[in-house]
Structures are given as structure tokens and as C-alpha cells.
Structure 1
Amino acid sequence: MKRRDFLRFCGATLIIGSVSHEIQAAIRHNSKKIKPIEGSWFEFQHHNLAEGKYWNETLKTFSAAQWDAKVKEIADSGIRYLVLLNVAIYDKMFYPSVLLPQHDMGCEDPFETVLNAADKYGIKFFISNDFFGDWTNPYFLMTDSGINKLRLTAMNEIAEKYAHHKSFYGWYFPNETGISGHYEDFFINYVNASSAEAVKLTPGTKTLIAPYGTRNVKADDKYARQLELLNVDYIAYQDEIGVEKTRVDESAGYFEQLHRLHKKVSGSRLWADVEVFRFEGKVYQSALLPAPAERVIRQLEAVSPFVEKIFIYQYTGLLNKPGSLAFAGHPDSRVLYEELAKYKAIKEYEKIKYEEDKNVYYLANDDLIGHDGEATVDGIHFTDLGFLRFADKLDNTIQHINIQ
């Protein structure tokens, strides 16, 4: 089935987000049952200087126009969510703040610039609430009283300055400890304290964490109880392929186990954080390079049956559309972009417009069925309520198209 023939009303094309296997298959007819990439991490500067070798200096000089172009490029790829990795690093902020000095960038307020762009291009941002202090010592960052106070104060400042943006979708809590069978108590406390502040400052926004140690999860009652204790909307587990802790052929088993665990309890939704990089040399001590496309496709195939959404780490520096007006990263990032587009892992709405369709309407999953968890039984298959919401939203959009 051709994309342009999927749904057509009055000369307009309607493109639906990932709401069922059947619809996904219709859109991505030549893929091997992979969900599309719906989100990515995003940054102004990479925290690990060795890893950011191929893009840190470029990003430092980006103008407001280039940041706008980069967000548009990402939106045009079909990605609808971005996760800002950090709002501070090395004791400096990425926005004008009374709390710490600001990084010297080519744009006066890159934070405001990218949120403005996200407002225009339909991107939803999860905003970070760290790193304050030494990012290599997450235990200290999560337990030190002074750092905790600074973090909450910064959240208040960020909310006051930027929460009016419609693209301010939620918060991301970036400090991590590896899962060693179970979560550490101090990690749960850190997440829940951050979530409580988020609810107070920005009611209705969503929360996200992305832990590592996915392969070490112990599928027992204690872990299930911890999932219920964690006050967070989405958990995007790292697949850990890029950091060479897990093999691609092992990944599906780990995510299937997580799928069973999350089905047992109410609370956090199961997402995947797929690593689309490899290292130029030693792991953690050398530059990040785009991974071979064949490996990335296999990674997507592995997690797709078990998770609601797939995010990648990361678009910034590792993917660039050929001809990008805001190129940053290794030259091979163009190759990875093109290969993922071929497999419909990214969906290139601008290309659809160019080929034929003048009016493209994108309906995101959350817009169609909501995000309260009541519309599907497992994040994929509809309940009766899900079908009702889907039909109602679709009908409204079709009526809008017919009026034009």
C-alpha cells in the first residue's frame, strides 16, 4: 500500500501516528514490523567531551536561525518528541539564569529559541532538571542536600521562564544509576521528589526517566513494587547496544521481560531508548559515531513488539538530513538518516509533500487516543474507549479537511 493512498479526502493526505500494528504496517509496508522513531534526546552540548568530538564545537556556534532549522529538520523527519538532556553542565546554564553563569553560545538564549521552534513545528519537549555538579557522580547529585535545593530552585526558574510554551510537554530527570536487579532507594527518592516539584510547578505535564542496567532487571515482586512506587509517567529503558553491554540478539528477551513486568502493575508506561551510536575507540573514552544502519534496524525490530514508543539516543550529532541547513556531527550521520528513511523508521513528511501531497495532516498517537492509558490494553491494541476516541478525532479532522 502506497503512503499517498493510505487515506485521502478532498486531495489531502492524513497520516496517523503509531496506534496499531495494522496502521503501522500500512504506512511502513517494506519494514520488518518496526515501530517508527517517535522521539530523540537533544542537547546544546554533549556532557562527555570525548564523545561529543564531532558536534560540540559546531553546536557552540549555532545561531538562532540554525537552531530553528535543526528543530524543523527533526520535525520533518516525523519525530514528535525531544528530550533535552541537560539544562546545565560544568557549572554553567544554557539559558540566562540568576543561579549560575551562562555558557557562551552563538545564540543569546538557545533554550527559548528551540522551544519557539518546537511550538511552530509541533514538537513536544521533555525538559531536563540537571546537571548541577559533577555529572560523573550521580549518587552525589541525587543525595546532596545543596544540589537537591539548587535543582528544585532551577525547576522553578525554568517553569517561570519557559512553561508558557505549548511545546513544554514534560520533565526529564537525567541522573541515573544502573539497575542491579532493582532500583536503589535513593534513586526512587530523587525521581519522586522531582516529580512532586513538577506537579506543583506545571500541573498536567508528563515525566520521563531513562535508566540503564536493563539487562540486570530482576523480574520479581520487589521490582514490580518499585515500579508502583516510582512516580513517573514513562520509563524509556536504554537498550545498551551502543555502550556494548548488550548484544542485539539479547535485546528482545530483556524487553519482553520488561513488557510482562509493566503489564502486571499500574503506573509507568514502557518505552525504549535505542542507542544509535558506536564508539570511535574505547567505550566512554572516544567519540560517538553513527552506528551502521543494519544494526540500528535490528535494534528497532528487537524492541518494537514490546514497547509503546521508541526514542533514540540521539538525533543530535548522529543524524543529519542530507542538505541540512544546520549540520552538526560526523559525515556518516547523513548515511544513517537516509537508511532509516528507507525503512520508514523516520517518516519524512516533507518528502511526502514534495512527491505529491500538498496537504499532509499528522495525527499523533496522544492526540488520537489520549495518554491516560485507558485507550489500549497494552499500549498497542485498542479498547472500546480507544476505538471511540480514535473515531471521534478522525471525524473532526476529516470535517476540517472537507471545509477547506
Structure 2
Amino acid sequence: MRNLPRRSFVKALNVLAAGGVFLQEVQAQAKEKKSAIKPIEGSWFEFQHHNEPEGKYWDQTLMNFSSEQWDQKIREISEAGIRYLVLLDIAIHGKSFYPSSLLPMHKMKSPDPLETILSAADRHGVNFFVSNGFFGDWTNPVLLMKDPGINSLRIKAMNEVAERYASHKSFYGWYYPNETGIDGHYQDYFLDYVNLSTAEARKITPGAKTLIAPYGTRNIKSDDKFVRQLEKLDVDFIAYQDEIGVEKTRVEESAGFFSRLSDLHKKAARSKLWADVEIFRFEGKVYHSALIPASPERVIKQLEAVSPYVEKIFIYQYTGILNRPSTGVFAGHPDSTGLYEQLAKKGFLKA
């Protein structure tokens, strides 16, 4: 610039200054985006997997967990920084996971698995969403939501569970596990199922929170009808499945779908928007083979994609798909420790 005329020199300085401001803005945006990447705050949790082929790597191990081992696993999860667990089911295949007057009980080493995990969660600072299913054939969710006899059994089970276990400080709320596949909009029977469940939950456990996790995220229509349905849904949190593990959505599509959901939820101004991020892949055929950990690179991209749009990130699931490398209560696929290490390294979990 030594030979530039004065006017040109001043102009060049202005350009450099503007460029410096622009660079600062870009750096600030990058920093903001990085800080906006949310940690994993919650996970689904189970005693036995509902789909037997998918639970190949952990079902037998969990069946033989003692009460002390369940306590250690809850402690491990808490130390990972996870503060919420969603119990997938309190019954499956016609048997319960707690001593019930309504159904026979699964034979497990722990005499009362539900009491065991809630007591452990009390000690280790974890909040549980307790399931109100599955009663009947879990592969037929429409029947489970519409059948009067099953609805009656579900309500009785909620009352039984509330009477026995709601005094636990870790009993944070209810999870309604019968899923709906959104085809543009929610089905009316799903709205009825959710709202009837919440009405009962409010009656027997005042103040308890409520959660659902629908699929069909990519099919949602951004219209007034969907907003009105969100306004009608009496539920505190909706954790939409990102559907990447089940191979319905590509990672690069996810941000767009959750951005759209964010706009719809803001318009409805009712339920909080959460994400249910699938950190698994299938060992073979989708839905007919074992769940195994997805690659850390894929999972990290999934978490980054939804972070700007949701209040909290939950994963499906810690059980079987993640294990701390130093764990004394290993349950799951051998690659689960590697995924844990990489997520901890990136700050999504605590090391």
C-alpha cells in the first residue's frame, strides 16, 4: 500500500476493517453453533427388548442381572451425565416386570426390577419416565390404542404402578409407548389414546410429566391442521424419532425435518420439542436382526443435526448400545464401549 494514493489507501483500510468485522461475525457464529450442540440428557431403558432378534446382545445378560447390578448400571448411566431415563415397558408378551395382580411376572433374577431401578435412580439422581404399556400384542399398536379391554387394563396397571411406586422421587413422569406412524398428521385415535392416558396420569400422579415418541417424522405436513393437533395433544414432551437407525431418513435430511418441527411447535406453543436420536444400526435386515452401535461419526452428525432445533436430546438407547469402558456390568455389543468413548471425547457424554 506504500504507493497508493491517499483516497485509495483509506478505501483499502475500510475494506480490511469490514473484512475483519465479517471474519469476527463468522467466527462468532461458528462458536455459537458449536456451543449449541447439546449433550445427551436422556435415554430409553429396558429390562428386556420387545423385539427378540433386536435384543440379541443383551437380553440374556439383563435377565440375569441382580438388584446390585441394576444399581451399578443406573449409577454408570448417571455418571455419564444422563439425567432422564425412559422405561420402554412395564409389561411385554403378557407378563409384567413387577409383581402385579393383573399379569404373571417375567422370571428375572431381581425379584422386583421396577422397584430396583427406581430405588437406584433415587440414589443416583436420575429421573424416570415410567411406561404404561405394553398390554396386548405390541406389534399391533392400533389395537392397543383402540381396544376397550386393553385400555381398561392399561388404566388399572397405571393405578397399580402409581400406588406402589409413585412415592419414589425418581418417578418423574409417564411414557406412552404405543407409537403412531405420522402420515401427514396424527390419527384421531392416537390423540384419544394420549389424552386419556394423561387424564388418568393427572388424576393418580398430580404433577407428573408426560412423554411420547412418535415416528413418521419425515412425513409431517407443515400446515394449520398439524398445529391444531399439537394444540389438542395433552402431553408435556414430544421426542420425535430421527429414524436414521431404521433407515427411513438420511443424516443430511434430519436437520430440515427438525427445523420444520421447531416452527410448528412454536406456533402451537404447547408441548416441548425433544429428539429421539437412534444411535444404533441393524446387524442384518432392518427390524429382523440385532441392534448394534452405529459408527461414532454417524451418531455425532445426528446429534449435531437436531441440536439447534430441540430443547433436549434423548437417545435410543443406552441399554445394549453403550457401555462405559470400565463398566463392571457390561450388557450389549462389544462395539458399545468404543461408541461411548467417542461420544465422551466430543462432550456428548461424561468420560
Contact 1:41 / 1:82 at 8 angstroms: preserved in 2?
yes
Which of 331, 336, 339 aligns to 1:336? It is 339
Partner of 1:186: 189
* Superimposed CA distance per residue, residues 267-295 of structure 1 (whole angstroms, 9 cap, x where no aligned partner): 10000000000000000000000000000
Secondary structure at 2:100's aligned position in 1? coil
Which of 230, 236, 244 aligns to 1:233? It is 236
* Superimposed CA distance per residue, residues 358-399 of structure 1 (whole angstroms, 9 cap, x where no aligned partner): xxxxxxxxxxxxxxxxxxxxxxxxxxxxxxxxxxxxxxxxxx
Q: Which runs of 5+ in 2 are unaligned?
A: 1-27
1:317 aligns with 2:343: no
Q: Which runs of 5+ in 1 are unaligned?
A: 1-21, 349-404
In 2, Cα distance between equivalents of 1:34 and 1:293: 15
In 2, Cα distance between equivalents of 1:259 and 1:33: 15
Aligned partner letter, 2:317: Q
Contact 1:32 / 1:301 at 8 angstroms: preserved in 2?
no
TM-score, reference length from structure 2: 0.90
Residue 177 of structure 1: CA displacement?
1.5
RMSD (Å) for aligned C-alpha atoms:
1.3
Residue 325 of structure 1: CA displacement?
1.5
1:218 aligns with 2:221: yes
How much identity, in percent, do the aligned residues show?
69
Which of 35, 44, 57 aligns to 2:47? It is 44
* Superimposed CA distance per residue, residues 99-134 of structure 1 (whole angstroms, 9 cap, x where no aligned partner): 000000010001101000100110000000000010
Partner of 1:3: none
1:252 aligns with 2:255: yes
In 1, Cα distance between equivalents of 2:331 and 2:109: 14
Secondary structure at 1:218's aligned position in 2? coil
Secondary structure at 1:111's aligned position in 2? helix
Secondary structure at 1:272's aligned position in 2? strand
- Number of matched pairs: 322
In 2, Cα distance between equivalents of 1:244 and 1:164: 40
1:158 aligns with 2:161: yes
1:47-196 to structure 2, matched below 5 A, reads 47-196=50-199
Partner of 2:301: 298
Residue 347 of structure 1: CA displacement?
2.2
Aligned partner letter, 2:192: N
Higher relative contact order (CA 8 A, sep 6+): 1
Which of 184, 197, 206 aligns to 1:203? It is 206
TM-score, reference length from structure 1: 0.79
Aligned partner letter, 1:233: D
Residue 33 of structure 1: CA displacement?
4.2
Q: List 4+ stretches of structure 1 deviating above 3 A.
A: none
In 2, Cα distance between equivalents of 1:85 and 1:296: 21
Aligned partner letter, 2:298: R
Aligned partner letter, 1:185: D
